Amino acid sequence: MKKNPIAMPVNTAGGPLKGIRGQIVTFTDDPFLNPSDQCYLYIEDGLIVVQDGIILDVADYASIKDKYPTLDNIDHYTNSVIMPGFVDCHVHYVQSPMIGSFGDTLLQWLNEYTFPTEAKYKDKVFADEVAKMFFKQILQQGTTTANVFSTTFATSVDAFFEESERYNTRMITGKVFQDRNLPDSLKDESAEESVEIAESLLKKWHNRGRQIYSVIPRFAPTSTERQLMLAGELYQRHLDEGVIMHTHLNESVGEIAWVTQLFPNIDNYTDVYKEYGLIDRKSLLAHSCLMKEEEWQTLHMAQCGCAHCPSSNLFLGDGEFKVWEAKDPQRPVRVGMGTDVGGGTNFSIPRQLNEAYKVSMLKRKNMSAIHSYYLATRGGAEALHLEHSIGSLAPGYEADIAVLDLNPSEFVEWRMKFTESIMDKLFVLQTLALDNMNMATYVAGNKVYDRERKDKPFMYANEFIK
């Protein structure tokens, strides 16, 4: 445990104050690279003070309550842990309707389920319906930022950002580039046109409120070299504005063999993306399961992030992410968690931690609760280069918060009697990972999800304006 070192300038003159009180856990550093007990802050009875969606203060309740004499709006949580909202570094919202489809390996599964489902998003009404359902699922699980695949059509991007804007969530998506090796119903008309559509979506949505645009080639096999090149140029043109690049890398053996066949003159899969300007400091590579050492070096040098998606990797039976390999202190890579719905089988980041622990144990490495919840929060923010605005509970950060119930069932409540430390409790919670374990989710200070608000558990941001 150590003192929170992050202090950013905050504006003290502003709207009314809001308090959130209870046990607080937040991460201050990477436990894979530092002594893990020095990488988090634990406050047994803490208070988070929020103003205008931004955290103003985080400290022991008794030590700061007198500093805010006008603060009377406090949500007080007992038998729970207040944490930064979870970050899902890789998820396909458009695959929500096909989660849990009886499967096969990646490439067959894409043809059988994914492509026919994604072809439906030309219809804005359908896209709206899925976006609404997706946001409910992730907010219910305490996820407040997600790095999301839409699909080919602009409608799929608009539907997603429109719903995000209603909750005022910090979300990332973009139009998916795919102009070969998939059904015509989903294929871009041409590389040039696809980039024009993407650039106009980027201009419409990037930095509008909390929305972030991303350049998304689905993966190397479904883009022509021309499209990869134009996508890379688009990314490079907008990199300094904070636009993200998001794609898949080294997920399965069959996929890698296909890439080798399509790009015979390039040394490895990572270099295909590098060749077209897609590897840079805001690039997020989902999966990265079957990596060569030189590929890790490339990601390290460029400061890229990876998304660890254990539920999906196990479901599709393709590869597994080696988190300790990624975190080699000689060339560490930024890593966060991803649900990868619909390859992943649920929307819960704590459930991903449960699977990640088991995947790590296959390599005889046991990943502690400190490592796990770091990946779920601050690690995810680092992977997306958003670690200065989200993923931590500290002054100046955006007030995106999850409240985990330590007693979500009679059995878990009983089981908790046999735990000692807060990290013991968090480990039990991730391992049992009940569907209702998140009590409340705050987005920019608004409690947009409240498990106890039975008649109306979800609320949009404008419903809080009095």
Query: Minimal distance in Å, beta carbon 286 to Zn ion?
Result: 5
* Peptide bond just before 342 cis, omega within 30 deg: yes
Please check whether residue 85 is in contact with residue 145, taking contact to mean a CB–CB distance below 8 angstroms.
yes
Applying CB under 5 A, the span of 173-181, 198-206, 208-216, 333-341 interacting with Zn ion comes to 333-341
**340 scored as a contact of Zn ion (CB under 5 A):** yes
Query: Minimal distance in Å, beta carbon 114 to Zn ion?
Result: 9
Decide whether 81 or 107 has the Cβ nearer to Zn ion: 107
Applying CB under 5 A, the span of 135-143, 272-280, 338-346, 455-463 interacting with Zn ion comes to 338-346
Query: Minimal distance in Å, beta carbon 336 to Zn ion?
Result: 14
Burial 300-316 (b: 16+ CB within 10 A, else e): bebebbbbbbbbbbbbb
Residues in binding contact with Zn ion, number by CB under 5 A: 1
- Position closest to Zn ion via CB: 340
Please check whether residue 358 is in contact with residue 26, taking contact to mean a CB–CB distance below 8 angstroms.
no
Query: Minimal distance in Å, beta carbon 149 to Zn ion?
Result: 6
Q: How many CA atoms lie within 13 A of 422 on its CB side?
A: 22
**118 scored as a contact of Zn ion (CB under 5 A):** no
Decide whether 4 or 252 has the Cβ nearer to Zn ion: 252
Applying CB under 5 A, the span of 49-57, 226-234, 337-345, 399-407 interacting with Zn ion comes to 337-345
Query: Minimal distance in Å, beta carbon 154 to Zn ion?
Result: 20
Strands 305-308 and 438-443: unpaired
Tell me the per-residue interface mask from 283 to 322 with Zn ion, x by CB under 5 A, - otherwise. Answer: ----------------------------------------
Task: Note every long-range contact of 95-102, with CB atoms under 8 Å and residues 24 or more positions apart, other chains counting.
Answer: 95/149, 95/341, 95/342, 95/343, 96/130, 96/133, 96/134, 96/137, 96/341, 96/342, 97/130, 97/342, 98/342, 99/341, 99/342, 99/344, 99/345, 99/346, 100/342, 100/345, 101/342
Tell me the two tokens of residue 156.
Answer: 């799929």
Query: Minimal distance in Å, beta carbon 248 to Zn ion?
Result: 6
Applying CB under 5 A, the span of 34-42, 332-340, 402-410, 431-439 interacting with Zn ion comes to 332-340
Provide the residue count of the chain: 466
Residues found near Zn ion in the complex (CB under 5 A) = 340
